[in-house]
Amino acid sequence: MNDILQRWCEDKIANSKSLDLAKMEIVRGLDGLIQTWSELRSITRTELLRQVERFFQVREQEVLTTIPRSLQNIDPVDEPLNADSFWYTYKKNLVEKKWPEDEIYKLGISCRKIAATLNSAASEETDLQDPPLRGLAIGHVQSGKTASMAGVISLAFDYNYDLVIVLSGTIESLRKQTQVRLSSDLRGASSRTLVVCDRLNRKPICLPQNIFSGKNCVLNVCLKNSTRLRQTKRWLEWVIESKYEPRILIIDDEADQGGINTQADRNEVTTVAKLIREIVHIHPVKTSYLAYTATPYANLLNEAPDADNGRSLYPRHAIFVLEPGKGYFGAKEIFGMSSDSFGEESEDGLNIIRYVLPDEVKQIQNIQKSLLSDDLPESLKYAIIWFLCSVAVRRYRGHGPQPTTMLIHTSHRTIHHTNLAESIQEYLQSLNSSNHSVEKIKKVWDSEMELAPDLISELPEFEKLDFSFLLNKTMGDRSPSDFHSGIHFCIDNGNQSRENRLNYPDETWRGDFSPAFIVIGGNTLARGLTLEGLVSTFFLRVSKTSDTLMQMGRWFGYRRGYDDLPRIWMTPATVSIFQFISRVDQELREQIKTSVQDPSQMAPVILHNPDIIQITPKNKRSAASNDISYGISAPQTIYLAKDPAILRKNIELTTSFENLLRESYSKNVNPDKPCVIYRGVPVNMISEYITNFVFWQNQRAFQNPQKLAEWLVDSHNKFSWNDWNVVFVNPDSGEDSGLEGFSFTWRVSNRSAVYDNDKMQSYIYIKSLRGPGDILLDLDIPDDLTVKNTAQGRREYLTSKDIKQPLLLLYMINKSSSTRKSISMDDLLAKPEQDRTNKRVNLSEPEHIIALSLFWPGGKELSTNYIQIDLDGFVQPESDADINDAEDEDS
């Protein structure tokens, strides 16, 4: 790089707030620099721009955070540096919106790599098999997929795509919202003229000789219904017949909705799905199709690549995983994750979930059906008051004119919304007229301070908050543009005649306070719509499928500046479902991110447990196959019996088992490892132990011990496993169990129980058994290797070493366990019932508890817990199951 240019770049960086701003200043001032320094005049401007780009590529690596592996082996397209380019203009807009520098960089890398894939496929020299290119970008609910779409579109126009068609959902208001947003993001570039066509038809604005002349590029946002799609198809056919050959990018927004083939007969195709694939294939060599969705299960399970004579929209060529930005509240962050398919790991979510009890659900149902003029349940009153607290906090912080919102989503029926709204209005009016309203609010405030002490430092003192807005106008007492300081009460359920539908202020509103909205709604709030400043959610909707339930999560997203305020009220059962869905989502993303194989050769594997919830409707996963092969599995007992007779029987069985082991196999005791190991144990001894062990009946992986034992023997021969290692986990910090009959002093492990009032009498749920690194105890791993320190490192080590050594881990759980996170049952019962669910409690059992975990290096899963698309005829699929280790509570 030229020395003068390098010094100038470094000086600009040193005096700029971000790399992106520095780059913009450098590009803008380049001509002036050339005039100032004569030795630069011998170098072409294009070459100087290349040197600037290479310089910033090196510097940007210093702020690089997480880039998905699925994108790391793709060379991104060069970043357009001309100030009149669409990409440059788009990035400038992001900077003006105060996007963090590293977030803009990550978005840029992702968009440029996606654009590289699209660009290579639509070029004259493409060697793409089975055009058009069909890809899938997996985002997160309310995580900014539109930002990625806008970035990809801007690069497409810069790299000479002529037409971008965005297929945008099935709701016209959301289509318009998308069109306005994209048009705004792309306006300002002058390298080409952007033509936005509301509809593609034969009106003058859409005549090909008009829009495909000169430097025009065309954007169309099309509703996914048969009328609009037929119109678009006819127009495209007309364009091609008119001897125009535009390069076309089709982006399918919310691709799991509208375009999925739901016909039971695989030889038939639903109308909308058929029209979309016909549009995609009108000019296949010059067309690329990119689907966007946060819930991709239907896209991955609906059809195989060869369906409909190869015209299927299955993402055979590329799948991208989009990373959310910093501060994103997603399913994993909010709810945590359930244990994986065999109870391998669980994670706790944020302390923002509050529970709605069964009797309160019945109260809501009675109100909705007008069976009783029932008082609102306490949890809903609490949620409303917390909303009022949040409004006061945001106004104290000066968050105007940004809105603050509460969502109440309990039913899809409009009459239910009306009836519930009346009861809520009555309650608000009672607060309005009560002399004790501030006392009631203070009580909720104090309760939250106790429930969430980790957030106290972020909140002002209660006495500094102003609740006078309670005495102001409320409900729908306003015109569409009249945003007052009271509470705006809205019902948004698709009933267009209602005057009090949700209507936020636009950017022209200049209020100096945060306007407050309480929104009751149904299906119109279930997908696509952003609820601004959402701080309180009361959610009782149920769904049979996880993709539908996830899309209802309007609480997902960014809460910059008020991330200490969001709270969610729902039933414990719904929380458990979201925790499972979070696990499904996380496993799928990790699998795709780490895969290096083409999606048509390696179909993603999706965790599935229909006893909890269906992944996606059955008619959207018609190509799914349940009989799959995968790498590593490690089930563990996280549900433990309480019956003293069962506990004693398992202790006696394990004592006899260890006696047999010590008679025939050498005992290995390593002072550096908290365990006793027996190596080379034949599979028949393991299977006999498993057969006789008494498991809690509802433990998924161990529901049929006899069948599991038989399968272990069969798999031993089929997959050429070595003999087993048996490890008795013996934590250094544990107390002596005091049990006789073992050849060593077996110390107990501490595990606390998760409280569940209805079920704790019959079994104990400990959430996780294995501690970090337990699954590696029988392996000789050099001390200098860091693989033992993280779950990801352990997983990668086990999968990369082609280990053939199965393992049985045995634990003695302390009957009086107490841990850092648990409290006594008496202390827990002193709390209100709604504050007890899912809390950790100490154990108090009559006997110590034997628990176990298995590890096998490969084979077929005993019960159907995963599904994937059937690629028979394409490839015999293989995959690896994740190994995630749970937190050890013995420390």
Query: What is the distance between the alpha carbons of residues 810 and 818, in angstroms, rounded to a whole number?
Result: 20
Q: Which residues, 6 or more positions from 53, have their beta carbon under 8 angstroms from its beta carbon?
A: 78, 79, 81
Q: Length of the chain in residues, anyone?
A: 891
Is 403 part of any domain?
A: yes
**Out of 236-250, 374-388, 439-453, 577-591, least confident range:** 577-591
Residues 586-600: what's their mean pLDDT? Answer: 73
pLDDT digits (tens, 9 = 90+) for 35-44: 888 888 888 8
Indicate if 54 and 120 belong to the same structural domain: no
Query: What is the distance between the alpha carbons of residues 294 and 796, in angstroms, rounded to a whole number?
Result: 26
DSSP string, 22-61: HHHHHHHHHHHHHHH-GGGTTS-HHHHHHHHHHHHHHHHH
H-assigned helices in 246-357: 271-280, 297-301, 307-310, 331-335
Sorting pLDDT into bands at 50, 70 and 90, what band is 19? low
Whether the pLDDT of residue 886 is over 50: the answer is: no
Query: What is the distance between the alpha carbons of residues 871 and 660, in angstroms, rounded to a whole number?
Result: 47
Residues 566-587: what's their mean pLDDT? Answer: 86
Indicate if 654 and 617 belong to the same structural domain: no
Indicate if 28 and 169 belong to the same structural domain: no
pLDDT for 582 equals 86
Whole-model pTM?
Answer: 0.68
Indicate if 651 and 521 belong to the same structural domain: no
DSSP string, 206-218: G-HHHHTSTTEEE
Secondary structure letter of residue 609 according to DSSP: B
pLDDT for 69 equals 47
pLDDT for 237 equals 93
Indicate if 341 and 362 belong to the same structural domain: no
pLDDT digits (tens, 9 = 90+) for 657-671: 999 999 989 888 888
pLDDT for 377 equals 93
Determine the residue type at 241.
Answer: E
Residue-range definition of the domain harbouring residue 529: 357-539
Query: What is the distance between the alpha carbons of residues 725 and 679, in angstroms, rounded to a whole number?
Result: 4
**Exposure string over 601-628, b if 16+ CB within 10 A, otherwise e:** ebbbbbbbbeebbbbbbeebbbbbbeeb
Residues 716-740: what's their mean pLDDT? Answer: 90
Indicate if 289 and 361 belong to the same structural domain: no
The burial class, CB within 10 Å (0-12 / 13-18 / 19+), for 303 is buried
Considering its fold, how many domains does the chain have in total?
5
Of 593, 621, 649, the position where a domain reaches its end is 621
In terms of Cα–Cα distance, which of 98, 83, 79 is closest to 188?
83
Q: Is the pLDDT higher at 403 or at 837?
A: 403
Residue 16: both structure tokens together: 């700029």
Q: Is the pLDDT higher at 257 or at 725?
A: 725
Asked whether 533 and 562 are in contact (CB, 8 A), the reply is yes
Map residue 520 onto helix, strand or coil. strand
- Residue 516 C-beta-side C-alpha neighbours within 13 Å: 24
Whole-angstrom Cα Rg for the chain: 30
Is 546 part of any domain?
A: no
Whether the pLDDT of residue 636 is over 90: the answer is: no
Residues 89-102: what's their mean pLDDT? Answer: 88
Q: Is the pLDDT higher at 629 or at 253?
A: 253
Is 421 part of any domain?
A: yes
Q: Which residues, 6 or more positions from 323, have their beta carbon under 8 angstroms from its beta carbon?
A: 66, 67, 68, 106, 110
Whether the pLDDT of residue 1 is over 60: the answer is: yes
pLDDT digits (tens, 9 = 90+) for 495-546: 655 566 788 887 778 888 999 999 998 766 666 567 899 999 999 987 777 6
In terms of Cα–Cα distance, which of 259, 256, 262, 255 is closest to 619?
262
Is 570 part of any domain?
A: no
The burial class, CB within 10 Å (0-12 / 13-18 / 19+), for 825 is middle
The burial class, CB within 10 Å (0-12 / 13-18 / 19+), for 61 is exposed
CATH code at position 256: 3.40.50.300
Which segments within 530-581 are labelled E, that is strand? 534-539, 557-558, 567-570
Site of tokens 């608000």: 428
Query: What is the distance between the alpha carbons of residues 507 and 854, in angstroms, rounded to a whole number?
Result: 58
Site of tokens 């200098």: 784
Indicate if 592 and 604 belong to the same structural domain: yes
Of 17, 35, 59, the position where a domain reaches its end is 59
CA distance to 254, 282, 416, per residue, from 624 (Å) = 21, 28, 37
DSSP H or E stretch at residue 11:
helix 3-14
Is 92 part of any domain?
A: yes
Is 112 part of any domain?
A: yes
Sorting pLDDT into bands at 50, 70 and 90, what band is 317? confident
Strand order in the sheet with 516-521: 353-355, 567-570, 534-539, 404-409, 516-521, 487-492
**Out of 298-312, 708-722, 787-801, least confident range:** 787-801
Sorting pLDDT into bands at 50, 70 and 90, what band is 859? very low
For residue 101, the Cα-to-chain-centroid distance in whole angstroms is: 23
Indicate if 93 and 50 belong to the same structural domain: no
Residues 755-775: what's their mean pLDDT? Answer: 77
Residue 170: both structure tokens together: 């099935």
Q: Indicate the pairing of strand 248-253 with strand 287-293.
A: parallel
DSSP string, 158-190: HTT--EEEEEE-S-HHHHHHHHHHHHHHHTT--
Is 505 part of any domain?
A: yes
Angle at 681 between CA 677 and CA 687, to 5 degrees: 115
Indicate if 49 and 99 belong to the same structural domain: no
Indicate if 383 and 345 belong to the same structural domain: no
Asked whether 752 and 890 are in contact (CB, 8 A), the reply is no
In terms of Cα–Cα distance, which of 568, 574, 776, 744 is closest to 662?
744
Indicate if 49 and 191 belong to the same structural domain: no
Indicate if 374 and 344 belong to the same structural domain: no
Strand partners, 869: 624
Of 519, 539, 559, the position where a domain reaches its end is 539
Is 887 part of any domain?
A: no
